[in-house]
Amino acid sequence: MDMRLTGKTAVVTGASRGLGLAIVRALSAEGMRVAAVARTTPTELKETGAVVVTADLSTAHGPAEAVERALAELGGIDLLVNNVGGGDSGEGQVGGFLDTTEDVWRQTYDLNLLGTVRATRAALPSLLERGGAVVNISSVGARVPHGGPIAYTTAKAALTAFGKALAEEFGPRGVRVNTVSPGAVRTSLWEAPNGYGAAVAAAHGLELDQFLAGLPAGTGMTTGRFIEPEEVAALVTWLASPHAGSVTGADYVIDGGAIKTV
């Protein structure tokens, strides 16, 4: 299916790896001009042909500066994908509420919520001018906050609510806002030897490979496997397209059937 995105522009945050990189690749393949915002510039990101904007989106000024530079490169923004997020470090993430320090709370909210708030605020004038769209990448943890680090899951819950509120305010002015909430995606968050998955495995006395092999079934994923980044990227691409022109304020769960409630 032609997504009718050729010649349109997009800004994707958190673009250096995992979901962000897959989204950059998918949008570029549809003919979009993409500005990829990331703290680092790995070879894989350079190979996409996207304009790379280096920035630290956890800082107060980083998101606005990144969007300003993207605007200078693209001339306008038709799509903002707020993919930036954190929680793939095991340090301070597996001990529960009383072990979650003030610094972890602050850093987690700065990156997972306020980075998106700031980037969206900076991009909205151009999005309003062009009748654009916003797609925020949240998590199934927003719906089942006990299922992950409390700072991370509650920040994602706030992010999901933020998207709903934006859709209500700016829908009448021509900007669509939607949320995508993935479950366990095959990324470094789970697979890195020093990531969150490794920390959870160690906390349960398991080797990482053993833990990952049992995770889909253990979390109730009826598909029995991890979600691939490309599957999430395909959903983002559709939401960005005119085919989803009447979809706004929605939260699309892509979790392999893990959430059992209606």
SS3 readout for 178-195: EEEEECCECCHHHHCCCC
Nearest-10 crossing angle of helices 18-29, 229-240: 50
pLDDT (tens digit per residue) in 124-183? 999 999 999 999 999 999 999 988 899 999 999 999 999 999 999 999 999 999 999 999
Kindly report the CA angle at 78 between 117 and 115, in degrees rounded to 5?
15
At the topology level of CATH, where does 9-186+228-252 sit? Rossmann fold (3.40.50)
Percent of the chain having pLDDT more than 90? 91
Report the pLDDT value the prediction gives residue 58, as an integer from 0 to 100.
Answer: 93
Report the pLDDT value the prediction gives residue 148, as an integer from 0 to 100.
Answer: 86
pLDDT (tens digit per residue) in 246-257? 999 999 999 999
Distance of alpha carbon 41 from its chain centroid, rounded?
18
Confidence check: pLDDT of 13 > 80: yes
Name which of 71-85, 91-105, 110-124 the model is least confident about: 91-105
Report the pLDDT value the prediction gives residue 147, as an integer from 0 to 100.
Answer: 83
- Number of residues assigned to the chain: 262
Confidence check: pLDDT of 93 > 80: no
Mean pLDDT for the chain?
95
Report the pLDDT value the prediction gives residue 86, as an integer from 0 to 100.
Answer: 83
Active centre residues (catalytic): 152
Report the pLDDT value the prediction gives residue 61, as an integer from 0 to 100.
Answer: 97
Cβ–Cβ < 8 Å for 213, 186: no
Cβ–Cβ < 8 Å for 179, 138: yes
Kindly report the CA angle at 155 between 106 and 15, in degrees rounded to 5?
90
pLDDT (tens digit per residue) in 197-245? 999 999 999 999 999 999 999 999 999 999 999 999 999 999 999 999 9
pTM over 0.85: yes
pLDDT (tens digit per residue) in 61-92? 999 999 999 999 999 999 999 999 986 566 66
Nearest residue to 32 (alpha-carbon basis) of 253, 200, 252, 236: 236
